[in-house]
């Protein structure tokens, strides 16, 4: 049993402390943004932000997330709204710039990996608002426990979407 | 109202209704010749959309919204959510936005079956014909309602006008329940499903206003906001989580099952049927832990019946049985090759080898099965052919397909792996659900998905090319060798000893056969003598495996054609070098096919190609650069590709710097979606060219995860340029979701030759294989 803050809300979880966070999110909290891709920290499909840092929820035990703040794909709009100090009414209508860019660029093919791609993009843009193409490639390839993998080959579209998200963020959230 | 005959379809008003009403377009069998009994039976099954029921292909609602249905489930191609809506809107002269709903894949909610491949059907997908029939029916209805002749009616954005009057489609169907019966043929549960028959009039391409424009995929927004329905998300009341304990090897039978530690896992349960072992528990984590504990104590017999990947091509060349299976010959084979070959001034004689590859979806297979007390079985899954799966599950349990319902959800791309029915976990979920009397969710773990799924078969080809003194090809012979390509037997059924279709064999029909058909259409019609032959054999280890398993194969993106196009195109590049000719001009000089010439010229112009023979004359330095080309015709689309690479001779490492692809599908339906598909396919193409090769030993697949089966990472992608050639005059919509993946490998291998003067005729082009050739 543990208490974790997920997408800004404190949640009591009954699952054993050795349960990987991914199963807690998907099964106990019904947050299905993160996907089970490998269970080995090798692909990134399960990524979430833990205190703002991209981690692999498939190998992060619940005990390690206790007391920390978890942001899932579902929580990106609220995260952006909070950062921008938007009213509750505006926050309801808002998507995170990364999500806006992903839609505008029609980035996903099957889309299974894109949860992790958007989480990684969010982490990157919070640290580096205007990354170069080289920095984007490094972020998705070498910065984490493994590269973020996409079998459909959407990497080109991801790079374009990160660049667009950067511009949207610089423009205060407007595409 | 009497039945009206509309180009072979028939329209009737079934009854008047007071409110609501809709035009339902279904399919019927009445009066259609040549239908086999299976088709007749399939469309009258329970839990199937039937000609006598109002559910159907297309629903036009009184509020002017339109719903369309297709048996094809999306796997990232986006076609069902983009192109299909455009095609229906175009044929109906309705607005794109009026098509608000696409129902896809569910076996009880969609009409036609078939798989997630060939979505555009070379320009004639079922949904297009269904829409064309519907349009004619709507014109007839409007003609009667407005009391004006059909030929004086115009339709725009779903509003029918004529004689100074107008009416919307919604108003036209308001208060009436109408049924259009259109002819179909085929077998719902077969891999190809039902096909809409007849020849309804189609809107001329010159009048298109919706097809040809980029329209977004509305599913994208759902996926990026975590609102999509993924198969991974399905949770049913009372559902148990399961993990499988698969055998130790691809031929290991069960000796004894490990004892479950009930103190540690009080809620878990072990289920054994034949060689199938599964563990279920109320929570996923308990199922995982308990299955690991049981697996550790489970004993399997040893088995060694595979050659191992190090000896693969020796085995295929020397030991495999290529004699039992009928040899095929292409339709384009012509003339007497042997005398032309012996008269040739120059000759190329070479063998090309392609490894086993994995489809490697990003998510391991997952399915939920609910075997209900009333005898109905609901399966929730992500597979490329829900109706075929339905038939397989019915066969496994010796029950009627009437009682099997497959609901399709989103999931990771499968690239062909489940296009014949099962995706891997469905049959196991059914077996376990039946055993425990509750819904069961089977999720394979990552190593299982590598080790127990099917693979794209290895292949090799012997090529002989003869050229005359002027550098023209006068003789071309290619013999392709490849084990059976498609084993659709559900693995859980095989392990449990339950009924399945036979393994691919020499007498099998269609794709259940060991026959190696010629898949790569010959486009060099300027060559006077051509012989293309296909040799097939059994899956490796399958006959010797006590489980009847071995290395099971399955079609993967551009199946068979990739295995045949790589040797052909690399050999043509080598032949161009023998002729001292530029590889693009050499190709152009050997074909009369204008569209092939068109894509070759387009890719030459767009890529920065240097027109000259290969290899380049200056081949010194720490890093060498090269260019290479490939061309292909597939699914009514012409493709050409130029790769620019850098190779480090000291290490054998290849960096693909730029890939330029020209694609001519005829009518371009959705340029933006096509571009994204081509970019994605190109990345997969570079990945399979440089990295991908299944590792296996004498017992089992040893590629267990993404370290054992690496794929391309973002840092290693090339610059990708896509040139789309829109050719409305062609009149058909060619496919664009596959073939892009097959183009890069022969172009990269040709670029390696250009850079170094050495030919590596084996994929993948990894240092281990490249370096010895460069040093030789």
pLDDT mean over B448-460: 98
Q: What is the pLDDT of residue B47?
A: 85
Contact at 8 Å (CB) between A66 and A4?
yes
Pick from A16, A114, A156: CB nearest B285: A16
Which neighbouring-strand residues pair with B631? B640
The span from the CA of B759 to the CA of B749, in Å, is: 7
SS3 B653: strand
CATH of A76-170, one of 1.20.1270.360, 1.10.10.10, 1.20.1250.20, 1.10.150.120: 1.10.150.120
Do B122 and B64 share a structural domain? yes
Residues 6+ apart with CB under 8 A from B1: B12, B13
What integer is the mean pLDDT of B173-186? 75
Mean pLDDT lowest among A147-161, B437-451, B723-737, B748-762: B723-737
B294, part of any domain = yes
* Pair (B97, B142) in one structural domain: yes
Taking the Cβ of residue B41 and every Cβ of chain A, the question of whether any pair is shorter than 8 Å is answered with: no
Is residue B22 in some structural domain?
yes
Question: What is chain B's length?
Answer: 776
In chain A, the percentage of residues whose pLDDT exceeds 90 is 93
Residue where one domain finishes, among candidates B177, B193, B224: B224
Confidence of residue B98 (pLDDT cuts 50, 70, 90): very high
Nearest to B362 among A26, A40, A112 (CB): A112
Same domain for B9 and B45? yes
CATH 3.10.20.30 correct for A2-73:
yes
Pairing status of strand B440-443 against strand B240-244: parallel
CA distance B226 to chain A (A): 5
Nearest CA-CA distance, residue B414 and chain A, Å: 9
Question: Which residue in the set A32, A36, A141 is minimally distant from B714, CB to CB?
Answer: A141
- Which chain B residues are closer than 8 Å to A39 by Cβ? 445-446
Q: What is the pLDDT of residue B175?
A: 72
Residue of B nearest to A115 (CA): B224
Domain ranges of chain A: 2-73, 76-170
Angle among Cα B552, B558, B563 to the nearest 5 degrees reads 70
Work out the burial of residue B279: count CB atoms within 10 Å of its CB; fewer than 13 is exposed, 13-18 middle, 19 or more buried: buried
* Average pLDDT of every residue of chain B: 92
| Interface contact flag, B363 A45, Cβ < 8 Å | yes
B285 and A158 within 8 Å at the Cβ level: the answer is no
Last residue of a domain, one of B418, B443, B468: B443
Q: Are B158 and B138 in contact (CB under 8 A)?
A: no
* Residue B388 CB coordination number (10 Å): 29
Question: Would you tell me the crossing angle of helices A133-141 and A114-127 to the nearest 10 degrees?
Answer: 130
Q: Model-level pTM?
A: 0.95
**Distance from the B714 Cα atom to the nearest Cα atom in chain A, whole angstroms:** 6
Q: What is the CATH number of the domain that holds B468?
A: 3.30.365
CATH of the domain at B274: 3.30.365.10
Task: Please state, in angstroms and rounded to a whole number, the distance separating the CA atoms of residues B113 and B191.
Answer: 8
For B:63-92, CB contacts with A below 8 A are 75-78
Radius of gyration of chain A (CA): 15
- Are B115 and B180 in a shared domain? yes
> Which residue in this structure is represented by tokens 């990269």?
B748
Taking contacts as CB-CB distances below 8 angstroms, the residues of chain A near B230 are: 32, 35, 112
- Are A112 and B412 an interchain contact pair (Cβ–Cβ within 8 Å)? yes
Query: Which of B75, B362, B680 lies at the smallest CB-CB distance from A149?
Result: B362
Q: CB distance B285–A102 less than 8 Å?
A: no
- Whether residue A90 has pLDDT greater than 90: no
First to last CA, chain B: 82
* Residue B156 counted as domain residue: yes
Query: Which segments of B311-425 does DSSP mark as H helices, in order?
Result: 312-314, 337-342, 386-397
Assigned token pair, B204: 């001329």
Q: Which chain A residue has its CA at the smallest distance from B366's CA?
A: A36
Same domain, B144 and B212: yes
Q: Are residues B298 and B313 in the same domain?
A: no
Q: What is the pLDDT of residues B608-624, one digit of tens each?
A: 999 999 999 999 999 99
Domain co-membership, B191 together with B318 = no
Instruction: Residue B362: list chain A partners with CB under 8 A.
Output: 35, 37, 43, 45, 110, 112-113, 149-151
Calpha distance B388→B378 (Å, rounded): 14
pLDDT for B328 beyond 60: yes
Count residue pairs from A and B with Cβ separation < 8 A. 177
Pick the last residue of a domain from B176, B205, B224.
B224
The Cα-based distances of B756 to B181, B199, B365, B551, B771 in angstroms read: 63, 54, 42, 36, 11
Sort strands A69-71 and A47-50 into parallel, antiparallel or unpaired: antiparallel
| Domain assignment of residue B217, given as a range | 4-224
Is B215 found in the same domain as B162?
yes
Same fold across A2-73 and A76-170: no
- Answer yes or no: do B705 and A149 touch at CB < 8 A: no
- CA nearest neighbour of B80 among B21, B121, B50, B28: B121
Tell whether B484 is covered by a domain: yes
Least confident stretch, A6-10, A105-109, B508-512, B642-646: B508-512
What string of DSSP letters covers A90-114? Answer: HHHH---HHHHHHHHTT--SS-TTH
Q: Average pLDDT, stretch A61-82?
A: 96
Question: Does B166 lie in the same domain as B91?
Answer: yes
pLDDT at res. B21: 54
Q: How many domains does chain B have?
A: 3
Same-domain check for residues B332 and B395: no
Question: What does the pLDDT look like over B18-47, one tens digit per residue?
Answer: 445 565 555 443 333 333 333 443 455 788
Q: Taking 60 as the threshold, does the pLDDT of residue B343 lie above it?
A: yes
The candidate with the shortest Cα–Cα distance to B224, out of A154, A169, A83, A28, is A154
Query: What string of DSSP letters covers B370-390?
Result: EE-TTS-EEEEE--S-HHHHH
Angle between helices A97-104 and A114-127 (to 10 degrees): 130
pLDDT computed for residue B43 by the predictor? 52
Confirm if B538 and B321 have CB atoms less than 8 A apart. Answer: yes
Asked if A80 has any chain B CB less than 8 Å from its own CB, the reply is: no
Domain shared by B161 and B216, yes or no: yes
Residue with structure tokens 């369309």? Answer: B68
Does residue B556 lie within any of the structural domains? Answer: no
């Amino acid at each position: 049993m543990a208490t974790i803050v997920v997408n800004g809300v404190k949640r009591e979880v009954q699952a054993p402390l050795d349960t990987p966070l991914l199963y807690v999110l998907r099964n106990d909290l019904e947050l299905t943004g993160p996907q089970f891709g490998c269970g080995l920290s090798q692909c990134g499909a399960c990524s979430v932000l833990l205190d703002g840092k991209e981690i692999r929820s498939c190998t992060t035990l619940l005990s390690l997330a206790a007391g920390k703040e978890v942001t899932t794909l579902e929580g990106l709009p609220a995260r952006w709204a909070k950062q921008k100090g938007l009213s509750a009414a505006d926050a309801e209508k808002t998507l995170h710039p990364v999500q806006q860019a992903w839609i505008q660029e029609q980035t996903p093919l099957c889309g299974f990996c894109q949860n992790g791609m958007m989480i990684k993009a969010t982490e990157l843009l919070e640290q580096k608002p205007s990354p170069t193409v080289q920095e984007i490639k490094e972020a998705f390839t070498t910065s984490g426990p493994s590269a973020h993998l996409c079998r459909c080959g959407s990497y080109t579209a991801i790079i374009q979407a990160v660049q667009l998200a950067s511009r949207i963020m610089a423009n205060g959230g407007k595409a | 109202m009497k039945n009206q005959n509309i180009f072979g379809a028939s329209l009737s008003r079934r009854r008047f209704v007071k409110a609501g009403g809709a035009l339902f377009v279904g399919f019927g069998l009445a009066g259609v010749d040549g239908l086999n009994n299976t088709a007749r039976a399939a469309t009258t099954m329970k839990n199937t959309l039937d000609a006598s029921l109002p559910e159907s292909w297309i629903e036009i609602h009184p509020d002017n919204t339109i719903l369309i249905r297709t048996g094809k489930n999306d796997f990232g191609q986006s076609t069902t959510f983009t192109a299909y809506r455009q095609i229906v809107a175009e044929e109906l002269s309705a607005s794109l936005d009026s098509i608000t709903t696409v129902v896809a894949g569910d076996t009880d909610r969609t009409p036609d079956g078939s798989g997630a491949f060939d979505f555009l059907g070379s320009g004639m997908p079922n949904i297009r014909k269904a829409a064309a029939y519907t349009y004619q029916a709507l014109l007839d209805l409007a003609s009667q309602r407005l009391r004006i002749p059909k030929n004086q009616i115009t339709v725009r954005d779903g509003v029918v006008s004529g004689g100074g009057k107008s009416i919307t489609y919604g108003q036209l169907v308001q208060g009436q329940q109408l049924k259009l019966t259109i002819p179909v043929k085929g077998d719902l549960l077969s891999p190809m499903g039902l096909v809409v028959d007849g020849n309804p009039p189609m809107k001329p391409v010159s009048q298109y206003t919706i097809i040809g424009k980029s329209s977004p995929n509305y599913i994208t927004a759902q996926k990026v906001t975590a609102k999509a329905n993924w198969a991974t998300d399905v949770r049913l009341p009372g559902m148990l989580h399961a993990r499988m304990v698969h055998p130790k090897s691809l031929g290991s039978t069960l000796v004894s099952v490990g004892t479950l530690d009930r103190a540690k896992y009080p809620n878990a349960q072990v289920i054994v049927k034949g060689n199938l072992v599964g563990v279920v528990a109320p929570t996923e984590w308990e199922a995982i832990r308990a299955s690991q504990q049981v697996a550790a104590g489970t004993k399997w017999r040893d088995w060694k019946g595979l050659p191992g990947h190090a000896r693969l091509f020796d085995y295929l060349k020397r030991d495999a049985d290529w004699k039992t299976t009928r040899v095929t010959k292409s339709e384009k084979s012509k003339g007497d090759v042997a005398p032309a070959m012996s008269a040739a001034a120059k000759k190329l004689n070479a063998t090309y080898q392609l490894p086993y590859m994995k489809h490697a979806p990003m998510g391991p297979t997952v399915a939920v099965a609910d075997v209900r007390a009333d005898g109905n079985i609901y399966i929730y899954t992500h597979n490329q052919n829900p109706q075929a799966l339905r038939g397989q599950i019915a066969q496994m349990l010796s029950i009627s397909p009437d009682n099997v319902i497959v609901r399709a959800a989103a999931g990771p791309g499968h690239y062909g792996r489940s296009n014949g029915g099962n995706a891997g976990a469905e049959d196991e979920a059914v077996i376990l659900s039946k055993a425990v009397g509750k819904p069961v969710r089977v999720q394979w773990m990552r190593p299982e998905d590598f080790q127990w799924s099917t693979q794209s078969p290895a292949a090799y080809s012997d090529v002989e090319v003869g050229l005359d003194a002027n550098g023209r090809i006068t003789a071309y012979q290619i013999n392709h060798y490849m084990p059976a390509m498609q084993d659709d037997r559900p693995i859980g059924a095989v392990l449990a000893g339950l009924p399945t279709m036979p393994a691919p064999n020499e007498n099998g029909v269609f794709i259940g056969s060991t026959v190696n058909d010629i898949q790569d259409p010959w486009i060099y019609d300027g060559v006077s003598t051509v012989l293309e032959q296909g040799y097939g054999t059994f899956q490796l280890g399958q006959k010797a495996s006590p489980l009847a398993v071995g290395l099971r194969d399955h079609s993967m993106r551009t199946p068979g054609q990739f295995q045949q196009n790589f040797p052909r195109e690399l050999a043509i590049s080598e032949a161009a070098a023998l002729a001292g000719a530029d590889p693009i001009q050499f190709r152009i000089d050997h074909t009369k096919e204008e569209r092939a010439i068109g894509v070759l010229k387009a890719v030459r112009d767009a890529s920065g190609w240097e027109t000259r023979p290969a290899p380049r004359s200056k081949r010194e330095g720490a890093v060498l650069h090269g260019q290479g080309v490939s061309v292909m015709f597939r699914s009514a689309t012409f493709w050409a590709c130029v790769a620019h690479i850098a190779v480090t001779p000291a290490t054998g490492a290849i960096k693909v710097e730029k890939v330029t692809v020209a694609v001519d599908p005829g009518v371009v339906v959705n340029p933006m979606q096509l571009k994204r598909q081509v970019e994605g396919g190109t990345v997969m193409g570079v990945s399979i060219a440089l990295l991908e090769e299944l590792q296996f030993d004498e017992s089992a697949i040893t590629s267990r995860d993404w370290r054992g089966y690496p794929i391309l990472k973002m840092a290693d992608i090339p610059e990708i340029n896509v040139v789309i050639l829109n050719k409305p005059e062609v009149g058909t919509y060619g496919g664009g979701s596959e073939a892009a993946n097959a183009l890069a490998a022969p172009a990269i291998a040709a670029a390696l030759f250009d850079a170094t003067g050495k030919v590596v005729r084996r994929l993948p082009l990894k240092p281990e294989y490249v370096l010895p050739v460069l040093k030789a």
